[in-house]
């Protein structure tokens, strides 16, 4: 999805060029994944000669928002504060992260 969100449209070969080496995938794997995303209506596929052009049907922000909510609901009982506390306790947050969170909280309180 990142490849499609960044490029707008791409062929399976272009998606593979961007991700196959890093993930140890084949072009067949990419085509299977794209086919599943088309079935789920997350991606559109339109013919372009002998190939298909794929484009995202859902915005990255919408996807991230939904997945974030599901993560918080599933792992932290719906409480985002519990997620932040867990990240802080496991030292997954840097001082820079904490500063950004504090600034965000100040902004949200206004």
Between CA 83 and CA 91 the distance in angstroms is 12
Model confidence over 34-84: pLDDT tens digits? 999 999 999 999 999 999 999 999 999 999 999 999 999 999 999 999 998
Ramachandran class of 49: left when φ > 0, alpha when ψ lies in -120 to 50, beta otherwise: left
Within 10 Å of residue 90's Cβ, how many Cβ atoms?
8
Q: How many CA atoms lie within 13 A of 62 on its CB side?
A: 7
Cross-strand pairs, 44: 55
| pTM for the model | 0.73
Asked whether residue 66 falls in the same domain as residue 91, the answer is yes
Asked whether residue 82 falls in the same domain as residue 42, the answer is no
Q: Structural domain tally of the chain?
A: 2
Asked whether residue 52 falls in the same domain as residue 95, the answer is no
Tell me: pLDDT of 91 over 90. Answer: no
For 66, the enclosing helix (H) or strand (E) is: helix 60-76
**What CATH number did the domain enclosing 9 receive?**
1.10.10.10
């Amino acid at each position: 999805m990142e490849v499609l969100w960044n490029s707008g449209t791409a062929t399976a070969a272009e998606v593979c060029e961007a991700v196959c080496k890093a993930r140890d995938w084949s072009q067949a794997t990419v085509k299977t994944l794209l086919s599943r995303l088309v079935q789920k209506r997350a991606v559109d596929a339109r013919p372009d000669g002998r190939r298909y052009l794929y484009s995202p049907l859902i915005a990255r922000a919408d996807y991230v928002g939904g997945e974030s909510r599901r993560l918080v609901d599933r792992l932290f009982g719906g409480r985002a504060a519990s997620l932040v506390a867990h990240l802080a306790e496991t030292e997954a947050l840097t001082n820079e992260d904490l500063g950004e969170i504090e600034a965000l909280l100040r902004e949200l309180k206004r």
